[in-house]
Amino acid sequence: MFVVLSLVLASSSSPYLAWASDEASYFNVTDYGAIGDGRTENSQAFLKVWNVACKASVKSPTIYVPRNKTFLVNPIIFHGPCTALTINFLILGTIVAPDTPKSWDAKNASEWLAVMNTNGLTVDGFGVIDGQGKAWWDQSCKYHPQLKNCTTLAPTAWKFIKCNNSSVRNMRFINSAQTHILITGCDGFVIQNVEIASPGNSPNTDGIHIQASHHLNITHSNITNGDDCISIGDHTSDLSISNIQCTLGHGISIGSLGRGGSLVQVENINVTDCIFNQTSNGARIKTWQVGTGYLKHVAFERLTFNNVKNPIIIDQNYCNVSGACPELKTGVQISNVSYRHAMGTSATEIAINFNCSKSVPCHAIAIESVKLTSAIAGKRVTANCSNAYGKEHEIVPGPCLLHETQSKTP
Ligand SMILES: *[C@@H]1O[C@H](CO)[C@@H](O)[C@H](O)[C@H]1NC(C)=O
Ligand SMILES: *[C@@H]1O[C@H](CO)[C@@H](O)[C@H](O)[C@H]1NC(C)=O
Ligand SMILES: *[C@@H]1O[C@H](CO)[C@@H](O)[C@H](O)[C@H]1NC(C)=O
Ligand SMILES: *[C@@H]1O[C@H](CO)[C@@H](O)[C@H](O)[C@H]1NC(C)=O
Ligand SMILES: *[C@@H]1O[C@H](CO)[C@@H](O)[C@H](O)[C@H]1NC(C)=O
Ligand SMILES: *[C@@H]1O[C@H](CO)[C@@H](O)[C@H](O)[C@H]1NC(C)=O
Ligand SMILES: *[C@@H]1O[C@H](CO)[C@@H](O)[C@H](O)[C@H]1NC(C)=O
Ligand SMILES: *[C@@H]1O[C@H](CO)[C@@H](O)[C@H](O)[C@H]1NC(C)=O
Ligand SMILES: *[C@@H]1O[C@H](CO)[C@@H](O)[C@H](O)[C@H]1NC(C)=O
Ligand SMILES: *[C@@H]1O[C@H](CO)[C@@H](O)[C@H](O)[C@H]1NC(C)=O
Ligand SMILES: *[C@@H]1O[C@H](CO)[C@@H](O)[C@H](O)[C@H]1NC(C)=O
Ligand SMILES: *[C@@H]1O[C@H](CO)[C@@H](O)[C@H](O)[C@H]1NC(C)=O
Tell me what pLDDT residue 24 has. Answer: 53
- For the entire predicted model, the pTM comes to 0.93
Distance 108 CA to ligand 3 centre (A): 6
pLDDT of 18 over the 80 cut: no
Across the chain, mean pLDDT equals 93
Phi and psi (nearest 5°) for 3?
A: -65, -45
Residue nearest to atom 8 of ligand 11 (CA): 297
| Percent of the chain with pLDDT strictly greater than 90 | 90
In sequence order, the β-bridge partners of residue 267 are 237, 296
Instruction: Give the number of whichever ligand sits closest to the CA of residue 161.
Output: 3
Any atom of ligand 10 within 6 Å of the Cβ of 25 = no
Of the listed ranges 68-72, 89-93, 224-228, 318-322, the one predicted with least confidence: 318-322
Q: Which residues line ligand 4 (CB under 6 A)?
A: 80-81, 117-119, 162, 164, 187
Instruction: Calculate the alpha carbon distances from 70 to 60, 93, 129, 176 in Å.
Output: 25, 6, 10, 16
Domains for the chain: give ranges and CATH numbers.
21-213 (2.160.20.10), 228-410 (2.160.20.10)
321 lines ligand 12 (CB under 6 A): yes
Spatial distance between the Cα atoms of 376 and 288, rounded to a whole number of angstroms: 32
Residue 100 has pLDDT above 90, yes or no: yes
HSE, CB side, 13 Å, CA atoms: give it for residue 179. Answer: 22
Please tell me the distance from the alpha carbon of residue 10 to that of residue 99, in angstroms, as a whole number. 41
Does pLDDT of 12 surpass 90? no
228: annotated active-site residue: no
Q: What is the pLDDT of residues 51-96, one digit of tens each?
A: 999 999 999 999 999 999 999 999 999 999 999 889 999 999 999 9
Q: Is the CB of 260 inside a 6 Å radius of any atom of ligand 12? A: yes
Q: Is residue 407 very low, low, confident or very high in pLDDT (cuts 50, 70, 90)? A: low
Band (pLDDT 50/70/90 cuts) for residue 289 is very high
**Is position 227 annotated as part of the catalytic site?**
yes
Ligand nearest to the CA of 217: 7
Q: 127-145 burial by CB neighbour count: b if 16+ within 10 A, else e? A: bbbbbbbebbbeebeebee
Residue 267 in contact with residue 296, Cβ under 8 Å?
yes
Q: Which residues on adjacent β-strands are paired with residue 237?
A: 214, 267
Probe residue for ligand 8, chosen from 169, 245, 274 as the CB with the greatest number of ligand atoms within 8 Å:
245
Give me the percent of the chain exceeding a pLDDT of 70: 93
Give the closest ligand to the alpha carbon of residue 23: 1
Of 227, 228, 234, 315, which one is the catalytic site residue? Answer: 227
- In sign, the C-alpha dihedral spanning 149, 155, 156, 157 is negative
DSSP-based three-state secondary structure for 49: helix
Give the pairing type, strands 166-169 and 87-91.
unpaired
- In whole angstroms, what is the distance from residue 282 CA to residue 14 CA? 49
122-137, pLDDT tens digit by residue? Answer: 999 999 999 999 999 9
DSSP-derived secondary structure for 11-41: HT-GGGTTS--GGGGEEEGGGGT---EEEEE
The H or E element spanning position 312 is: strand 310-318
Give the ligand 10 atom nearest the CA of 248: 5
